[in-house]
Structure 1
Amino acid sequence: MRHRTPAPFQERVEMLIPPLPWDRQAHRGPETGAEKVVLLHGLGRSWRAMNPLARKLQQAGFSTLNLPYPSLVKPLDWILDHVDAQVAGFAEGGRVHFVTHSLGGIVTRMLLEREHHWAAGRLVMMAPPSSGSEIIDWASRRVMFRPFLSSAARALASDALQARLAGLRQDQEALVIMGNRSSIPFFRRLLDEDNDGIVSSNRGRVDGLKGFSVVDADHTFIQIHPEAVRQTIDFLREGRCPGTLSGESAVS
């Protein structure tokens, strides 16, 4: 029986549901023998923030694993071990793609540096603070905000990422999609002119990308922006980047 796709407003409400104490179980899409995709949400978000996108990927023929992880209470190394174990069980020694949002992209890049018994497929990172978060840098310098930063949040500081995060492997096909709609005025003075309200667009760049795109979306809802969804599906299916007619390398 075909399930009705929720209206955009319902999807936005779903995405805003915060992480809950019982959010421990990964949510798997249909096992169809199709290509597998792992989805990882961002800092302080829940698996529900990626669920509308997971449904769209399932409709496009992918098998999905929408993976919750406790970004507000566990250190980054614990998160990496947790994600590693879940991905290994899902991949079953085969190939798996990744689609991530914000911190999820950083976690995935660190995961891909590890030894593993499955093949890394294509990687789509939405709104990743690849060179560090200006907001975390600002909060880290203020005593009143430091106690509210989780271990995983502190790992997004510019100096912390530079010390720990390696570049992309030469054989890693990766696409970054950033937003440029700023709907959170409080942080604008910390960011470059082109930003999504949380991350400056240029902070998503990293050497070795196959594609780089900026869409008219904010940080919170970029995962359901129609153009971001289209680019994600095209890239996962064919390695096709925005503005190209085939899988050749192009950075816009």
Structure 2
Amino acid sequence: MMSERSSPAESDGRDMPRHSGVVLVHGLGRTFRSMQRLERRLNREGFATHNFDYSARSRAFTDLVADFQSYLESLPIGGTRIDFVGHSLGGLLIRGVLAQPQEFEVGRIVMMATPNQGVGIIDRLARTGVPELLFGPSVKDLGTTASTFRSLAVPQAEIGIIAGTQPFHLLNPASWLNSVLQAEILHDGTVEVASTRLPVMADYLELPISHTFMPMDLRVIDQVVAFLRTGQFDHDADSRSQSERFLAAWGELLDTLKDGLSDSAAARKSRSPGGET
């Protein structure tokens, strides 16, 4: 585990006000269900949560930011202090909405495996059209030379960044490609570790976790709670035992299978004559 601390002056150690909420934003190709384990933990800790759901398959990045803005405006959060937690593309959507004035006070932000400097594998595959075919038009804005998100300012808030360093996961197709095309680069299977950094961070942490299932990992969830409460990650947290990791891995797999079945059922319902559109 690698960590990087800011100076103590960048965090005041204050507790999270109970009346404020945490907005959760999932990553590309996932759904709000991928954030539900984290959401349940936050609820048990006394945090109110708002779990934003979106589909990037037919939407450009700017469209997704507009959708997210509309979602925030629909919430009764005006005049309150709101924290954010985003996974991968979710972190960029957070940066996108916070680039414009809001009616709420921005609290703390946790970014999990967010490609703040772009995704190298997208550059390598851009000419093939495969990334856009698999993930939709928003993926075009995630290359390292894309200007859409690289022009976004860093939010004026306490930002904690978690990067993964496990380069391969059986259920992450991108990690198969990265293991061949970017074997010499430290990455989480999808996003290069160096790409997660921002020029201003309250705290930074690297964990041996793969990209896709980061929001479900118990170590990550513990660190998200720690940062939201104190503005710092728990750099002294003990590593879990092998048995705990084994059980957590099975939990992640079962959650993924359940998400897939639920998404398939929802898709079948939407295609049925009397289903939703």
TM-score range, shorter chain: 0.7 to 0.9
1:146-225 equivalent positions in 2, closer than 5 A: 147-148=133-134, 150-161=136-147, 164-169=150-155, 171-182=156-167, 183=169, 184-191=175-182, 192-225=184-217
**Is contact 2:166–2:189 with CA below 8 Å preserved after alignment?**
yes
1:62-73 equivalent positions in 2, closer than 5 A: 62-73=47-58
Distance (Å, rounded) in 2 between the aligned partners of 1:132 and 1:229: 24
Distance (Å, rounded) in 2 between the aligned partners of 1:52 and 1:146: 29
**Is contact 1:124–1:177 with CA below 8 Å preserved after alignment?**
yes
**Equivalent residue of 2:57, what SS?**
coil
Distance (Å, rounded) in 2 between the aligned partners of 1:145 and 1:162: 17
TM-score normalised by length of structure 1: 0.77
Say yes or no: does 1:93 pair with 2:79: yes
Distance (Å, rounded) in 2 between the aligned partners of 1:176 and 1:119: 20
Residue matched to 1:26: none
Q: CA deviation at 1:162?
A: 6.9
Q: CA deviation at 1:166?
A: 2.5
Residue matched to 2:126: 140
Structure 2 gaps of 5+ residues are: 1-16, 170-174, 238-277
TM-score normalised by length of structure 2: 0.71
1:1-252 equivalent positions in 2, closer than 5 A: 34-90=19-75, 91-143=77-129, 147-148=133-134, 150-161=136-147, 164-169=150-155, 171-182=156-167, 183=169, 184-191=175-182, 192-243=184-235
Aligned partner of 1:102: which letter? S
**Is contact 1:36–1:95 with CA below 8 Å preserved after alignment?**
yes
When structure 1 is superposed on structure 2, of 53-62 and 176-185 the one drifting more is 176-185
**Is contact 1:126–1:223 with CA below 8 Å preserved after alignment?**
yes
Deviation per residue, 1:70-89 (Å, 9 max, x gap): 21111222211211121233
Stretches of 4+ moved more than 4 A in 1? 143-149, 161-164
Percent of paired sites with the same residue = 28
**Is contact 2:23–2:83 with CA below 8 Å preserved after alignment?**
yes
Distance (Å, rounded) in 2 between the aligned partners of 1:47 and 1:149: 16
Distance (Å, rounded) in 2 between the aligned partners of 1:175 and 1:70: 25
- Aligned-CA RMSD value: 2.3
**Is contact 1:213–1:242 with CA below 8 Å preserved after alignment?**
no
* Structure that is richer in helix per residue: 2
- CA pair 56-163 structure 1, distance change in 2 beyond 3 A: closer
Q: Which one has a bigger Cα radius of gyration?
A: 2
Distance (Å, rounded) in 1 between the aligned partners of 2:30 and 2:228: 24
**Which structure exhibits the higher relative contact order, with contacts defined as CA atoms closer than 8 Å and separated by 6 or more residues?**
2
**Is contact 2:19–2:80 with CA below 8 Å preserved after alignment?**
no
Aligned partner of 2:82: which letter? V
The size of the alignment, in residue pairs, is 213
**Is contact 2:113–2:196 with CA below 8 Å preserved after alignment?**
yes
Q: CA deviation at 1:163?
A: 6.5
Q: CA deviation at 1:113?
A: 0.5
- CA pair 59-76 structure 1, distance change in 2 beyond 3 A: same
